[in-house]
Amino acid sequence: MDASFYLLLAIGLLGALDVVYFHIYRCRLHLRPECRREVLWHTVRHLIYALQFLWVSHLRFHGAALLLLAVLYAVDVFVAWADVWEEKDSRASQGGLPRGEYLMHVVLSLLVGLYLLSTFHAVWPDRLLPTAILVAPPAVPAALRAFMTLMGVVALAAFVHDLHRWLSPPPARVAADREPLARRIVVEALIPAPVERVWERSQTPELHTGWDLRFSHIRYLPEQDERGFHRMEYRTCLGFGLEIAGWGRYLQNAPLVRSTFEFGSEDPKSLITHGRGVWLYERRPEGTFFKTVFDYETRHGVVGELLDFYVFRPLMQLATEWSFETLRRWCAGDEAAVAHRRSRWRFLVFLCSRALGRHPEPGAARSWLGSGRAPTLTPSAAHAPVEVVP
């Protein structure tokens, strides 16, 4: 089974690249309604390959137990053909498969053919042995076996995650704002406090850094633009002596109603090069409806785009939501909220809870990635379209 092991390892690595780059990042299949059935086939394949990763790296099937493998590989072939058949319709709106993905599928098909032949050759003699499933790892380095085991666990987790997402579409309120190519960060909170208090604590640099986990220091610079707006300096301490510097400035400022801004950084440690955003304020009987929508461009080419897609943007989204919730509690009268929630360890626990599927508490700040044009905008704000183009 040594040859089968190495072929499956190559298939797994290339398949992961296919999923991460083409399916999720470039084509955004999980966000396109026309690709829903194709996504289901991909989800089933996560389970199929999770089982293959785990059995090839640890087990050996003898006698009638080989029928289990026959069923597994038959299902794999069926799902693969169903996926290919579905792609004709599901990718029509995108002009078909990207050339790179088509080439990837050709290479994977050749490797899968070699893998099936190698596996058949290795297990054929075992049909004559007494029926059993034995722990008999292939003669490969233990580190590689551990790595393939990890691949199996990750594939199994991906199956559970994607199946849950496929069966549980987002709430209509959020789904209405999700466009396949729109990944602006949208955060909102209903704060039980007058708009004057929310405006002061979000527009005054010394107060802003108290509740906003994203910034360690904000200050106005002396120079002003032709409209009288000061340029601002942002600094964020990452720990271990590392710090990221950036800048920001207002584009428009309607007190107690709307604040439009742009921001950026020349610091190579920052993934952000330039971005724009808006803060919206509205009086409500319950207090103040506070919302932000922002977007940005990244540096470091495709690597930076992938890091942003999978790590940085979700992290920035949740850090903004955490900060809005801190502001909501502080403005509601919890004077200890700022000091309590500046802890990065507590924020890490929050990230883990979200990764495990926990939703915001009723009444708490909430966030998502979308266009920012959903009807969650209040009537007065909805009359002014939110355009956030870096």
Instruction: Give the separation between CA 59 and CA 94, rounded to whole angstroms.
Output: 42
What is the C-alpha separation between 153 and 166, in angstroms, rounded?
20
pLDDT of residue 342: 81
245 in helix, strand or coil? strand
Of 167, 202, 234, the residue at which a domain comes to its end is 167
Question: Is the pLDDT at 386 greater than 90, yes or no?
Answer: no
Please tell me whether residues 314 and 329 are part of one structural domain: yes
pLDDT of 125 higher than 60 = yes
Q: How far is CA 122 from CA 5, 6, 141, 152, in A?
A: 11, 13, 19, 21
167, 186, 221 - which closes a domain: 167
**Co-location of 242 and 278 in the same domain:** yes
Name the band, by pLDDT with cuts 50, 70 and 90, for residue 170. Answer: low
- In order, the DSSP letters of 272-314 are EEEEEEEEEEEEETTEEEEEEEEEEEESSHHHHHHHIIIIIHH
What's the pLDDT band for 289 if we cut at 50, 70, 90?
A: very high
Claim to verify: residue 186 and residue 110 sit in the same structural domain: no
In a domain, 389, yes or no: no
Q: What percent of the chain has pLDDT over 70?
A: 92
Examine the pLDDT at 166 and tell me if it is beyond 60. yes
Number of separate domains in the chain: 2
pLDDT (0 to 100) of residue 389 = 47
Q: Is residue 260 part of a domain?
A: yes
Structural domain boundaries enclosing 61? 2-167
Facing residues of 188 across strands? 291, 366
Whether residue 390 lies inside any domain: the answer is: no
What average pLDDT does the structure give for the chain? 87
Answer yes or no: do 225 and 139 share one domain.
no
C-alpha closest to that of 73 among 34, 37, 25, 122: 122
Please indicate, yes or no, whether residues 326 and 251 belong to a single structural domain of this protein.
yes
For residue 62, what pLDDT is reported? Answer: 94
Joined tokens for residue 163? 């199946």
Give a yes or no: residue 84 inside a domain: yes
Residues 232 and 378 in one domain: yes
Q: Are residues 340 and 237 both part of a single domain?
A: yes
Question: What CATH number corresponds to the domain at position 334?
Answer: 3.30.530.20
- % helix / strand / coil in the chain, to the nearest 5? 55, 20, 25
- Pairing verdict, β 287-298 and 272-284: antiparallel
Report the distance separating Cα 212 and Cα 13, nearest Å.
39
Contact indicator for 297, 161 with CB cutoff of 8 Å: no
SS3 call for 220: strand
Average pLDDT on 186-194 reads 95
The answer on 235 and 208 residing in a single domain is yes
Looking at the fold, whether 354 and 301 belong to one and the same domain comes out as yes
Predicted confidence at residue 231, as pLDDT, reads 87
Residue 170, φ and ψ in degrees, nearest 5: -65, 155
Which residue, 152, 167, 182, sits at the end of a domain?
A: 167
Question: What count of other Cβ atoms lies within 10 Å of the Cβ of residue 79?
Answer: 18
pLDDT at 383 over 50: no
- Split at pLDDT 50, 70, 90, the class of 270 is very high
Same-domain status, 232 and 156: no
* 182 and 293 part of one domain: yes
Do 276 and 192 share a structural domain? yes
Residue 15 domain-assigned (yes or no): yes
Quick: pLDDT tens for 344-374.
889 999 999 888 878 889 999 999 988 877 5
User: Residue 368 in 3-state DSSP?
Assistant: strand
Span 26-43, pLDDT tens digits: 888 887 888 889 999 999
